[in-house]
Structure 1
Amino acid sequence: MSDTPAFVIVGASGGIGSDLCRRLASRGPCRLVLAARDPAKLERLAEDLRAIRGDVSITTRTLNATDSGAVDAVFAEAASMLGPIHGAANLCGSILLKPAHLTSDKEFGDTLAVNLLTAFHVLRAAVKSMPSGGSIALMSTVATKIGLANHEAIAAAKGGINGLVLSAAATYAARNIRVNAVAPGLVRTPLAERLTASEATLKASTAMHPLGRIGEPGDVGAALAWLLDPATTWVTGQVISIDGGLSCVRAK
């Protein structure tokens, strides 16, 4: 049983998290621990995954990942149940689009907590559960690679994740633990619905992306699944842009 890959996905019930879990379940037998705030959404996702494959073991845990002790407990329990964890991902996040002078202390603190603190908590807990090596995937944003107006708070939080990826990749390379992140542009998820539901905002964002569309959950989920694949053994310290070319391409 210990040869079957075991993954802990934090923030599993969101748009990208759900897509990632479906990809992990579809590619073969695996053991999944799914954690998120909403237990009802977690159970619906678990039912979907069991319908994909009968040989996928699924455990759900309600979790507020800003609570470091709660994150530690989920990973400790996962390791106790499943043995060494092969992969972990943190997909917790938020979107705050405000200029700095209109951002309150609470809004900035909440943005840091939901994005950067959760990433640190998951990384710290995950490495303790990977005695034989493994892969950790985090979420950054295109706003850390190109200046976008009104993204000060989220760019600061996700910029911290970029630094965390680099340092942790160096720290844990000798233990064969790989640490990477993906940096998406705007993706059509429930979290971004306030933006994508606006025809004017959607049109403007689409025009910004050289490939002529915003992202879909599968665009990012596929990259995360690749990073968590035990066969992807020579990739670490990377923040991979999944952004339709927004961060680096200027189309005619």
Structure 2
Amino acid sequence: MSVDSEIQYAPARLDLAGKVALVTGGTRGIGRGIVLAMAAAGAKVIVSGRDRSNAEDVVAATRKVGTEGDLVVCDLFDDDAVDTLISDTVALAGKLDILVNNAGIDADGPMIDYDLETWRRVIRFDLEVPMRLSQQAARHFVANGGGSIVNIASVLSQVAVAEAGAYTPAKHGVLGLTRTMALELGKQGVRVNCVAPGLIQTDMTNNLWGSEAGMAYARDRIPCGRIGQPRDIGGAVVFLASEAADFIHGQVIVVDGGSLAT
């Protein structure tokens, strides 16, 4: 590889105009925030989810903020559906430039009593499925001039909490997957990075923020003094998927209001 002797100062674009992005679990919560942020940045976003009605609602919302999107109904617990999601997306949209592995599940419980089948279910959905989709997307990207993969992990890819017996190991694995694939694929034009959300206000986290104790936690333990919003994660994903992040490979951006700094 030759080294360009010219120093480049022209600003890189922080938009996704002309790009096609697939977002798994894009029908609600963090996924919905990512979809709308990417649409506002100019991408055509393909929303993947199990519920057609919810997916259609998000696709309709993309029309109000940016480029019109589309949907692929897909149950990521179905091996055959996982195997064809990338090819189905390419067939629908004509190409694929960005994969966002956002879909995830959780099941709390102490490790000493953690049920093996529950462990396998969480690890499969939160780690194995992103690995399989990333493999397929990477093959497409390498054959078509490059692309970007953004994995959604968690602050629990950096630390641990009690009774997150499968979720924490899975999210640590997502970070390892990100770094491994980045090392292998960077010279082939594929960038792989990761966003690690902290406490984000969604239906899934209502048990954490939907109480006075949760609000007190936000005031006292999150340096910026508020709970994160899905749009906060969407902004980080847009950046990592854009030309502005072209020299960023194998990295994790923690979006937690400063919690890990305390």
Question: What SS does the corresponding residue of 2:54 show, helix, strand or coil?
Answer: helix
Question: What SS does the corresponding residue of 2:206 show, helix, strand or coil?
Answer: helix
* One-letter identity of the residue aligned with 1:166: R
**Equivalent of residue 82 in structure 2, options 49, 58, 71:** 71
| Equivalent runs, 1:17-166 vs 2, <5 Å | 17-28=31-42, 30-53=43-66, 56-130=67-141, 131-166=144-179
**Equivalent of residue 208 in structure 1, options 221, 226, 232:** 221
Q: What is the CA-CA distance between 1:64 and the residue it aligns to? A: 1.6
* One-letter identity of the residue aligned with 1:244: G
Is it true that 1:238 corresponds to 2:227 in the alignment? Answer: no
Is it true that 1:178 corresponds to 2:191 in the alignment? Answer: yes
Q: What is the CA-CA distance between 1:103 and the residue it aligns to? A: 2.2
* One-letter identity of the residue aligned with 1:124: Q
Tell me the C-alpha RMSD between the 2 structures: 1.9
CA distance in 2, matches of 1:183, 1:220: 9
* Contact 2:59–2:68, Cα closer than 8 Å, also in 1: no
* Equivalent residues, number: 244
Question: What SS does the corresponding residue of 1:194 show, helix, strand or coil?
Answer: helix
* Contact 1:134–1:230, Cα closer than 8 Å, also in 2: no
Identity value in percent? 26
Indicate the larger mover: 78-87 or 139-148. Answer: 78-87
Q: What is the CA-CA distance between 1:140 and the residue it aligns to? A: 1.1
CA distance in 1, matches of 2:166, 2:180: 22
Deviations 1:174-221 (A, max 9, x none): 211001111111111122122222322442354332322221111111
Normalising to structure 2: TM-score of the pair?
0.86
Indicate the larger mover: 89-98 or 63-72. Answer: 63-72
Normalising to structure 1: TM-score of the pair?
0.89
* One-letter identity of the residue aligned with 1:233: D
Q: What is the CA-CA distance between 1:170 and the residue it aligns to? A: 0.9
CA distance in 2, matches of 1:73, 1:6: 17
Indicate the larger mover: 237-246 or 56-65. Answer: 56-65
Deviations 1:220-240 (A, max 9, x none): 111011111244211110111
Indicate the larger mover: 181-190 or 206-215. Answer: 206-215
- List runs of 5+ in structure 1 lacking aligned partners: none
- List runs of 5+ in structure 2 lacking aligned partners: 1-16
